[in-house]
Chain A
Amino acid sequence: MGRTTRFGTAVAAFAAALALAACGSSDTESSAAGAEAGSSTGAAESGAVAEARKSVAALMERPTTMEVPALPSKPASGKTLDFIACATPTCKAFGDLLKEATAAVGWELKVIQGGFAPKDIANSWNQVLRDKPAGVIASGGIPTSLFANQLKELDKLGIPVVLHDQPQSDKITGVTAVVMSDEDNYQYGKELADLMLADASGKDIHLGIFQTQQVPVFVNNRKALNEMIKSPDCEGCTVDTFDFQVADQGTKLPAKVVSFLRSHPDVNYLYFDYNDAVDGVPAALQRAGLADKVKLLINSISTTEAGYMRNDQVWASSANPWPETLWKDFHIILAKDSGAPLEDAIGVKLPNMILTKENLPEFSGALFPLVEDYQSFFKKAWGVE
């Protein structure tokens, strides 16, 4: 091939790729809702806003109690629990929480590194099959189709499996229970929706949603946010979405957030699917002179984001009660192991709270409980306190 031909081919191929990239159908869509409602719906709007304010006020208080049904007998000690952690720092902290729970009844905890890549997911579940533990807990909200065969094998072996942050619709053979599922995540989204509604008095909320398709369960949080924006209660409100890759968090994502905000100058609230996704974003916004333009909202919180919140860089977070959730996961395993009714264990209600700078508790570890002495409620139910 001659030089001119090669040059021409290369330029043509690049132009085609660029055109495809630039002109491909954007995942960002906008929806102006409530415009038709106009001023005639003023009474309904104020009612919805008042209701949201009431709900938010209640959720700003830190809960103090939990109801955990007692097991029929003290759990037998000396067993092993396998925990498959996902690849984010928050998931690592889950292992630390479970270690304390298992130690309380004399069980061993084995933490297995999972991940988001299908190969890593399969490897971690194959490791569980080799271990044959007394129970399995897994985090990460990964589609169960990626480890369906292993779940069936575990089912045959009678090993209970508890998943959290998992879509209920994704539940298949071999899963004993799904904790923090669709309803819980919808609730977390609703809490933040109410907070925005109250903050903006039901008007002109222009929400940007940074979402990842890699963790399907978060669709429920976004569903609640979208419903609020599109309802007649929110006048002149719009929503725009941006899809990101989990691997971009802390590296490329902050720059993309800046680009998104520059291309959507009307956005005044920005929501992230999960807490680690916001890492590095506040500094990028400050460098770009956009820090005062938006209020950042996140789903769940850990040490880094708590620091952002204390510095007024993150406005609010739904407080996923991770310690209580992990202990509830283990409570279900213990209930199954001791023959207690599973419905009671699965029905343990998890506490809720909205966090802002004003009510953010002091905490030193990666995660913190909403109910300060949550362990005592579980230990009492297990007969070990």
Chain B
Amino acid sequence: MSDQPVPAARGSLTMAKSWLSPRTIGAIYVWILLIVLFTILSPDQFAQYATVKQVLNEYAVTILIALGLLVPLAAGLYDLSVGSVVGMAGIGSAWCLAHVSPNPWLALAAGLGIGLACGLVNVVVVILMRVDSFIGTLATSSIFGAIVIAISGQNTISENVSGDFQQFFGLKSIAGLTAPVGLMLVGMLVLAFVLEKTSYGRRLYATGYDDEVARLGGVNVPALRASTLMVSAGFAALAGVMVTASLGAGDPTVGPSFLLPAFAAAFLGATQFRNGRVNPWGCVVAGLLLGTGDVGLVLSGAPVWAPSVFEGALLILAVSLTRASMRNPLGRLRDAVGRIRPGRPDGPGQANHPSLQGG
């Protein structure tokens, strides 16, 4: 590197170019492209405030779950149980409304409590029993799903759900935006502060990069990772309660279907702003981008399979726009799967630290 001082204007220009590079904010460019495209395709319907409301209201819950996922991902853990935790909290809050009290706040507390209890189970399995997070949370997801069926008898629970509870958490709005949108925005800001401005956040990323180095640096890795599983469960629980409020019923079938979209938003978001590092800004942009595509495609009369093509193509595009192998979050998934292959010396018990390559 040259010792010559870089002129301030040139430095600012370089920084701006870096910030505006498709490798940093590729999804924003794709988003703008989509907005222009759908405005041309559906001029009367797309370019309206109603579209903004729709995308925010209908995709806030998925983004809320994705935001929670970021925290364990940052620390090098996968939480595959979030979909089932959504189901647990949702059916738990509905059960509380039907059998304990119609008080919406009590139902919210019940849903959150159940979600956090699920998080505690994950902590026991992944941290205390040292089961690989990929496998451990997959297993607990299955158990939580079974409990949902047991609680609900596989029936929807609707008694008292459509009263104050639905009004408070599913319908009441400010400027047309409902509670989940507010929770999503608050969650994004809080996570951004915690992950980027606190020592806790720095320790999380350090643990995610290399847990051994973090441990030698004085980080209590097990405690830190345990906290991340509780955070993701808390976010998923909150989302579950919101889903029940939105449906006007506790539905035992809906939770698991949020898992893949939430992971897609988290992974896609990691390709934005922070060069392959999971971050809340990117996560929210990614979620809204996916929502914009879904809404725009239906508005423009695309066939039923179109949103799936769109989501797949978008994920490929966004990942290929980043420095593919260096800090690609999907590389961590590949590493984790590679580690749990039978016969590998660093098998399941060692797979709890899927460090970022080249980070």
Contacts and interface: CB of A to CB of B under 8 A. Distances in A.
Main secondary structure of the interface of A (DSSP, over half): helix
B259 to A, nearest CB: 11
A36 to B, nearest CB: 26
A280 interface: yes
Interface string B46-90: 000011011001110000000000000000000000000000000
Main secondary structure of the interface of B (DSSP, over half): helix
A26 B156 contact: no
Nearest to B246: A283
Interface residues of A, number: 59
Interface string B285-312: 0000001001101111111111101101
A25 B238 CA distance: 39
A286 B254 contact: no
Given A13-B313, A287-B176, A304-B158, A6 B50 contact: no
Interface in B226-267: 243, 245-249, 251-254, 257-258
Contacts of A252: 294, 307
Interface in A234-253: 242-245, 247-252
Contacts, number: 177
A7 B316 CA distance: 11
Given A21-B307, A245-B304, A259 B30 contact: no
A224 B92 CA distance: 41
A259 B248 contact: no
Contact of A14 (B30, B159, B295, B303): B30
A307 interface: yes
Contacts of B316: 10, 13-14
Contact of B57 (A13, A287, A304, A307): A287
A10 B258 CA distance: 27
B170 A279 contact: no
A258 B58 CA distance: 10
15 contacts: A17-B310, A17-B313, A22-B300, A23-B302, A24-B306, A89-B251, A247-B257, A249-B254, A250-B257, A252-B307, A279-B247, A279-B248, A287-B58, A303-B158, A307-B249
Interface of A: 6-7, 9-11, 13-14, 17-18, 20-28, 87-89, 92-93, 242-245, 247-252, 254-256, 258-260, 262-263, 265, 279-280, 282-284, 286-289, 302-304, 307-308, 311, 313, 366
8 tightest Cβ-Cβ pairs between the two chains A and B: A17-B313, A259-B298, A21-B306, A255-B58, A92-B154, A10-B320, A14-B317, A243-B304
